[in-house]
Structure 1
Amino acid sequence: MAVVWQRHPRYSLFIFAVLACTFYLLGPYRGRVPPMSSGRAMAAYDLPSRLARSEKIYNKLLVDRQGLIKKFGPTPKEIDLFPPNVNPWPAYTVWDFFPAAYNCPHEIARLGALGDGGKWVCGLSRVEHKPDCIVYSVGINYESSFEAEILSNTQGCQIWGYDFTVNSFGPQISPAQSSRTHFNAYGLAGTDHTSDDGHKMYTLETLMKMNGHTHIDILKIDIERWEFETLTALIKPYLASGKPLPFGQLQLEVHIWNMSFEEYLTWWEMLEAAGLRPFWTEPNLVYQNYNRGGSTDLAEYSFLNIKGANVFIKDPADHSNHRDD
């Protein structure tokens, strides 16, 4: 070192100055726990904290919705679903009152075909290795890309499908996957009955009893506006009893034909009261394209159930695979 100093005194002074400056700047951080590894910071990223933050964000939406109703109403009775003229401006549609404002605490993936047929799912990884994963799909119409992709990306998921307009799942499900599928030409309704044209209709509760199930991980419903009757009949007893709904998340196509804003708001608030939170939405633009000039009165919604102990809101050590009470 002495030799270097003697031969290159200016270079040695420069190196010394750089080292001194570096140690000075790093001084305040000696002994400090890195922010992301501290207990408080890590707690902010655990599942309960993420859910609590998402609920806080969603609660703000509820306040904002009331403000929007007051602006254009001032009560729900005066609001049109798709107003032809708006005063005050800017314009709105019914979907502006019901955005998917809840943040899924896991990865979000679109499963199935791009366009009509695909659905958005929150945290498929949570059931990837779940041995008793149960999926119900109501409304098939020979388009089973959604179901096929669930089967491809999980090891234990079994899928029960229902649709009285077809005879089986669609061709997207391979022969190798078919051993994990179960199909019946039944319809989903608010009561158990046989329709005028001879189709067997069952409530979700009855279908679950037939299959020996007490909980569904993923529930997909596309039943051409019968979702209002069906979900109302399903949810009201759970609201009355205080028990959580028997499924972890719901993929639903909403058909808002021949409704008033007030009716739709009441129905939607029932979903919210039962613990359903929308984390994704998109309008059905295929339907809109073939009905040009009309309103966009079909929309896809994906909901997370934040009540109970389903696999999407509780870590494995905390939740029961079959019970949410």
Structure 2
Amino acid sequence: MPGVCQRHPRYAVLVGFVLVATFYFLIPYAPEHRPDVHFMSMSDNDLSSRVERSTRIYDKLLTNRQGLIKKFGPTPQDIAVFPPDKAPWPPYTVWDFFPAAFNCPHEVERLGALGDGGKWVCGISRVQEKPDCIVYSFGINYESSFEAEILENTKHCEIWGYDFSVKSFGPEIPKSLTHRTHFKAFGLSGADKHGPDDTPPMYTLETLMKLNGHTHIDILKIDIEGWEFDTLTTLLKPYVSSGLPVPFGQLQLEIHIWQKTFDEYLAWWEMLEAVGLRPFWTEPNLVYQNYNKQGTSDLAEYSFLNVKGDNIFIKDPKRPFHPDGNHPHGHQ
């Protein structure tokens, strides 16, 4: 019996057209025809490929930032941090120039309270069983839900907390986990000031790490009410000139952009980028804005990943962790 296609040649043509069109739209364009698009390959399942792809995305942002500065400037000195509400109305704020455009290559999870106090962390699973996990937290302010969740989500992480305005961690930390906490009523600063007449005592991060016998910090949280500019400038400048990686894996930072011009802030931010810090999360501090009834949101929370060196968030460990925990604190 003759086939359907033989009896109905027009039907055969229609079927052939549908098949060709289906293959055309289902098969992706070859990368060589779309150089601006980076396709996911099987190799993207490994950590280094994911970090590389995130870097390409962030590099595109750097070009876009320069274009935005030229559009509203044309120089950084011409940009207002928060433009006045008058004609011609420029539709931007300072935060639009610095989005958190780096993709964390792991899970992103908020640790701690919703609202003020909690922080966004990239890949807490990476230190879940790390025997030499080190966390530093500057700025406690009676609220330690962030630190409590780190302790509860990891087996070995120890936390060094510093705040001269309080006497201890907040009540959120269970008593069963306090043996992994260490607290001092010190302040973080760009210079050491801890003599008999210095109240409160102030230390640089470098000095505190030496006192504690640490060469690397996995997670660093800083909330020091505007002093982050001087403190981080002092800390990071040597790494800008040397090219060496900074001694921490990621940074949770509240930024207080009080009395800063755009060009000052841009130079400081570009210093963070120069040492390898890439923002993967941000949110404005709306609690502060609400209580102060201000028209501008001049506080923002940022979380950064350090993409230089071989810290645990961007590189797999060179050798497996041992269950006895006999790893030097300097291993990253």
- Does the alignment reach a TM-score above 0.5? yes
Matched, 1:41 2:49: no
The separation in 2 between residues aligned to 1:91 and 1:241, in whole angstroms, is: 39
Q: CA deviation at 1:137?
A: 0.2
Task: Read off the aligned partner of 2:303 and give its amino acid letter.
Answer: S
Task: Read off the aligned partner of 1:317 and give its amino acid letter.
Answer: K
Aligned counterparts, 1:238-277, within 5 A: 238-277=239-278
The separation in 2 between residues aligned to 1:315 and 1:88, in whole angstroms, is: 51
Matched, 1:322 2:323: no
Indicate the residue corresponding to 1:214 in structure 2: 215
The separation in 2 between residues aligned to 1:237 and 1:173, in whole angstroms, is: 36
Q: CA deviation at 1:142?
A: 1.0
The separation in 2 between residues aligned to 1:286 and 1:293, in whole angstroms, is: 11
Q: Do the aligned partners of residues 103 and 88 (structure 1) sit closer, same or farther apart at CA in structure 2, a change above 3 Å counting?
A: farther
Q: CA deviation at 1:323?
A: 4.8
Deviation string 1:71-100 (CA, Å, 9 cap, x unpaired) is 110000011000014666551000000000
Q: Secondary structure at the match of 1:136?
A: strand
Matched, 1:167 2:167: yes
How many equivalent residue pairs?
286
The separation in 1 between residues aligned to 2:225 and 2:295, in whole angstroms, is: 17
Aligned counterparts, 1:102-251, within 5 A: 102-194=102-194, 198-251=199-252
Q: Secondary structure at the match of 1:114?
A: coil
The separation in 2 between residues aligned to 1:213 and 1:288, in whole angstroms, is: 37
Q: Secondary structure at the match of 2:41?
A: helix
Contact 1:128 1:156 in 2 (8 A): yes
Aligned counterparts, 1:282-293, within 5 A: 282-293=283-294
Deviation string 1:34-84 (CA, Å, 9 cap, x unpaired) is xxxxxx932122111111110110011000000000011000001100001
The separation in 1 between residues aligned to 2:214 and 2:198, in whole angstroms, is: 29
Q: CA deviation at 1:317?
A: 2.9
The separation in 2 between residues aligned to 1:135 and 1:227, in whole angstroms, is: 18
Deviation string 1:121-150 (CA, Å, 9 cap, x unpaired) is 000000000001000000001100000000
Q: CA deviation at 1:187?
A: 0.3
The separation in 2 between residues aligned to 1:168 and 1:94, in whole angstroms, is: 35
Q: CA deviation at 1:318?
A: 6.8
Q: Secondary structure at the match of 1:176?
A: helix
Contact 1:72 1:88 in 2 (8 A): no
Contact 1:310 1:321 in 2 (8 A): no
The separation in 1 between residues aligned to 2:89 and 2:158, in whole angstroms, is: 50
Q: Do the aligned partners of residues 296 and 318 (structure 1) sit closer, same or farther apart at CA in structure 2, a change above 3 Å counting?
A: farther
Contact 1:162 1:184 in 2 (8 A): yes
Instruction: Give TM-score scaled by structure 2 length.
Output: 0.83
Contact 1:311 1:321 in 2 (8 A): no
Instruction: Give TM-score scaled by structure 1 length.
Output: 0.85
The separation in 1 between residues aligned to 2:227 and 2:192, in whole angstroms, is: 14
RMSD (Å), alpha carbons: 1.8
Q: CA deviation at 1:321?
A: 6.5
Contact 1:309 1:323 in 2 (8 A): no
Task: Read off the aligned partner of 1:274 and give its amino acid letter.
Answer: V
Deviation string 1:6-44 (CA, Å, 9 cap, x unpaired) is xxxxxxxxxxxxxxxxxxx9xxxxxxxxxxxxxx93212
Aligned counterparts, 1:64-83, within 5 A: 64-83=64-83
Q: CA deviation at 1:194?
A: 3.9
Task: Read off the aligned partner of 1:200 and give its amino acid letter.
Answer: P
Q: Secondary structure at the match of 2:175?
A: coil
Task: Read off the aligned partner of 2:237 and give its amino acid letter.
Answer: K
Deviation string 1:141-165 (CA, Å, 9 cap, x unpaired) is 1100000000000000000000000
Indicate the residue corresponding to 1:299 in structure 2: 300
Task: Read off the aligned partner of 2:306 and give its amino acid letter.
Answer: N
Indicate the residue corresponding to 1:52 in structure 2: 52
Q: Do the aligned partners of residues 239 and 79 (structure 1) sit closer, same or farther apart at CA in structure 2, a change above 3 Å counting?
A: same
Deviation string 1:216-265 (CA, Å, 9 cap, x unpaired) is 00000000000000000000011112110000000000000011000000
The separation in 2 between residues aligned to 1:136 and 1:281, in whole angstroms, is: 20
Indicate the residue corresponding to 1:8 in structure 2: none
The separation in 2 between residues aligned to 1:293 and 1:254, in whole angstroms, is: 17
Matched, 1:311 2:319: no
Which has the greater radius of gyration?
1
Range 183-192 or range 311-320, more displaced: 311-320
Contact 1:130 1:157 in 2 (8 A): yes
The separation in 2 between residues aligned to 1:188 and 1:321, in whole angstroms, is: 21
Task: Read off the aligned partner of 1:293 and give its amino acid letter.
Answer: Q
The separation in 2 between residues aligned to 1:86 and 1:253, in whole angstroms, is: 29
